[in-house]
Structure 1
Amino acid sequence: MQTRSAQTRQALIRAAAELIADGGPSDAGLVSICRRAGVSRGALYHHFSSTAQLMAAVYEQAHERVMELAEKAFDQRSADGPERFLTALTRALREEELLRAGIQLSADGSPGPPQLRDEVLTLVRRHVSKGHRETAPSPDDLADLAVVVAAGLESLGHTDPAWWEAGTNQRLWALLRPLFGAEAERIG
C-alpha cells in the first residue's frame, strides 16, 4: 500500500501527464497541475523542486514503460519483434496518457530534443539492425523502415487517434511483414 506522500507524488505526475497529453508541455503549468492533482503548490514543491523536475519524473516513468514494452517485444530473436513492439507502443499511446506525455519530453523534463520519441526510434533501429546480415534489403534499410513506421504512427496519432488503432497497425504490418520475415529466413 502506498503512503499518502507517495500517492500525492503520483497524483502530481499523473496530473502533469494528463495536461501534456491533452494539450502539450506548455499546458502543464504550476497552477493547472496543482488544480488537476487536487493539491497545493506547497505539496508540489514538497515533492519536486520545480515543475521541470516534475516533468522529468513524467519522462522517467514513460521511459520505463517504453523499455518494458521493448523488452517484452524483443525478448526473442525473431522477425516479428519490431511489429510486436510497434503494435504495443501504439496501443499504449492510445490508452496511456503518461506515455503520450512522456514521449514529448526529454530526460530533463523539457520539451526540447532529444525527446523520448527520439530514443524510441533509436531503440527500434538498434533492435532491427542487430542480428541481420548484409543482404537486400539491408538491415539499415529495414531499421529505417521500422523507424519511419514508428515515427509516423506516433506523430499522426496525436491529430487522429485512429492511427493508434490495432486495425491500422495490423494493416500496415501485413504489408511490411514479408520484408522482415524474408530477412529472418535468410538469417535462420
Structure 2
Amino acid sequence: MKQSRSSDTRKRIVNAARELFQSKGFDGTSVAEICRTAGVSNGALFHQFPTKEALGFAVYSLIRAEFWDRIMVAMTTPDDPLDGVEAAVRAAFAFQQDDPGSSAFMFGVSGSKWIESFANEAKEVHDVVSKRGQVWAKPHIDAGRLPSVEADVFVALASGAPQWLAQMNRIGMLTTSLDEIAELLPTYIRRAFTPQ
C-alpha cells in the first residue's frame, strides 16, 4: 500500500512538473509551483527526486520515451524498410506538431547545462532505442534493402532534423512553412537511405 501511494505521488509530481515545464519552461518553474500543482509538500517532492534537475530529467526521459516509441512504431510497421524510414521522419514531425509543448521542452533541455550531469542515464535510454532500431535494420541491411549506416547518423536524419526544424519554426526562423518541409523532407531522407 505504501509503495502504491509513493508511486501515485511520484506520478502526480511528474505530471505537474511536465505541465508547468511545458508552459513556463524549466527555469521559469519553481519547486513551490510544482508542489502546489501536484498537491504535495516540498518534503514529498524531494523524497521522490533529490533535486529539481532530477525531476526535470524524469520529465525529459518520459517525453523522450513517448517520442521514440512513436518513431519506432512508425518505422517498424511497414514491410518496406524505406517506407519505414519515411514513416519515422513523418512521425517525428507529427510529434512536434501534435505536442509542441513537449517538443519545445525536450529540445530546450537537450541544450541545457544541467542535463550534462545525467549523461550516463540518458545514454542508457538512447542505447535501448538504438538497439531496438538496429535489430529492425539488420535484416534489411543484410538483404541490401538498406545501406549500412551508423545508428547516430540515422537518428540525426530521421528525428534530429524534424526536431531542429520545429525549433526554428517556434522561434520564427523558417522561411518555408513547417508543413511544407514536413511533406518534403521524408522523401529526401528516403532517398538518402536508398541503397546505391
Separation in structure 2 between the aligned mates of residue 158 and residue 40 of structure 1, nearest angstrom = 35
Q: Contact between 2:75 and 2:85, CA under 8 Å: does it hold in 1?
A: yes
Q: CA deviation at 1:151?
A: 3.8
Q: CA deviation at 1:4?
A: 4.3
Q: CA deviation at 1:34?
A: 1.6
TM-score of the superposed pair, with normalisation by structure 2: 0.60
State the partner residue of 1:19.
Answer: 20
1:42-99: CA deviation from partner (whole Å, max 9, x where unpaired): 2212322221221121122123223312321332561133332232223223334445
Secondary structure, counterpart of 2:114 in structure 1: coil
Secondary structure, counterpart of 2:27 in structure 1: helix
State, as a whole percentage, how many aligned pairs show the same letter: 22
Separation in structure 2 between the aligned mates of residue 88 and residue 179 of structure 1, nearest angstrom = 17
Q: Contact between 1:92 and 1:99, CA under 8 Å: does it hold in 2?
A: yes
Change (3 A) 1:166 1:13: farther
Q: Contact between 2:74 and 2:87, CA under 8 Å: does it hold in 1?
A: yes
- CA-based RMSD: 4.1
State the partner residue of 1:54.
Answer: 55
1:101-124: CA deviation from partner (whole Å, max 9, x where unpaired): 344436xx934586x7xx6xx96x
Separation in structure 2 between the aligned mates of residue 64 and residue 145 of structure 1, nearest angstrom = 18
Spell out the pairing of 1:81-100 with structure 2 (5 A cutoff): 81-96=84-99, 97-98=101-102, 100=104
Amino acid in the other structure paired with 2:28: D
Query: Match for 1:169 among 173, 179, 182?
Result: 182
Separation in structure 2 between the aligned mates of residue 37 and residue 158 of structure 1, nearest angstrom = 28
Change (3 A) 1:158 1:22: farther
Please state which structure has a larger fraction of its residues in helix: 2
Separation in structure 2 between the aligned mates of residue 145 and residue 64 of structure 1, nearest angstrom = 18
TM-score of the superposed pair, with normalisation by structure 1: 0.62
State the partner residue of 1:6.
Answer: 7
Count of residues in Structure 1 that have an aligned counterpart in Structure 2: 168
- Report whether the alignment pairs 1:101 with 2:105: yes
Separation in structure 1 between the aligned mates of residue 15 and residue 181 of structure 2, nearest angstrom = 28
State the partner residue of 2:164.
Answer: 152
Separation in structure 1 between the aligned mates of residue 56 and residue 50 of structure 2, nearest angstrom = 11
Change (3 A) 1:90 1:164: farther
Secondary structure, counterpart of 2:109 in structure 1: coil
State the partner residue of 1:110.
Answer: 114
State the partner residue of 2:40.
Answer: 39
Separation in structure 2 between the aligned mates of residue 19 and residue 35 of structure 1, nearest angstrom = 11
